[in-house]
Amino acid sequence: MKRIILNVIVLVFLFSGCAHLPLETGKRFLGVSTQDLENARSTGVFWVYYGEIDDCFDAALKAVKDIGGVVYMRNKRKKMIVGMDFKYGRRLVDEEDTLIKPLDEIIDTTEVGIFFEAMENNKTKVELSSLSSSLLEDIARRFFKSLEENLNEGKAKE
């Protein structure tokens, strides 16, 4: 009898899948949740660019790679990119890119969220967030510089 009950419980669990869990819990379990990055937007940094979201999105994908990162996740519909594995991001530099100190606490899986918001007059707000303020400080200046260069390069081709 115990065996039958146990089998029924296992079958119910298997056939119900993750439907009984909140969606965010499932995403966290799979390692694809962006909720922490979205929450960190309040302490992030942003820049406003002239141009459409699609142009900024495409230029940002290239900018992540330009500064040594990997695009871990992208969702054009949600207007969001997650970059990680910033090999050049393990250092703190001054305005002239002079090394101040290495940042050994930053590991390859430290993520940077890139969020896009349409504004009036054909402008786009591009916002960076990370749970590591050290990584964010290092990445932001170089990312925004590369993004601007990529956007200008796209306009020059038109």
One domain, residues 6 and 57: no
Q: Dump pLDDT digits (tens) for 79-108.
A: 999 998 876 545 555 555 555 555 554 556
Number of domains in the chain: 2
Residue 125 burial class via C-beta count within 10 angstroms: exposed 0-12, middle 13-18, buried 19 and up: middle
Higher local confidence (pLDDT), 98 or 9: 9
Question: Are 118 and 124 in contact, with CB atoms under 8 Å apart?
Answer: yes
Smallest Cα–Cα separation from 73: which of 39, 41, 109?
Answer: 109
104: its two tokens: 């050994």
Residue 136 belongs to a domain with what CATH number? Answer: 3.30.310.80
Find where tokens 């786009």 sit. 124
Question: Are 92 and 134 in contact, with CB atoms under 8 Å apart?
Answer: yes
Helices 53-66, 133-157: inter-axial angle, 10-degree rounding: 120
One domain, residues 2 and 41: no
One domain, residues 118 and 86: yes
Could you tell me the pTM of the whole model?
0.70
The SS3 of residue 66 is helix
One domain, residues 43 and 25: no
- Whether residue 57 has pLDDT greater than 70: yes
One domain, residues 25 and 75: no
Residue-range definition of the domain harbouring residue 89: 34-157
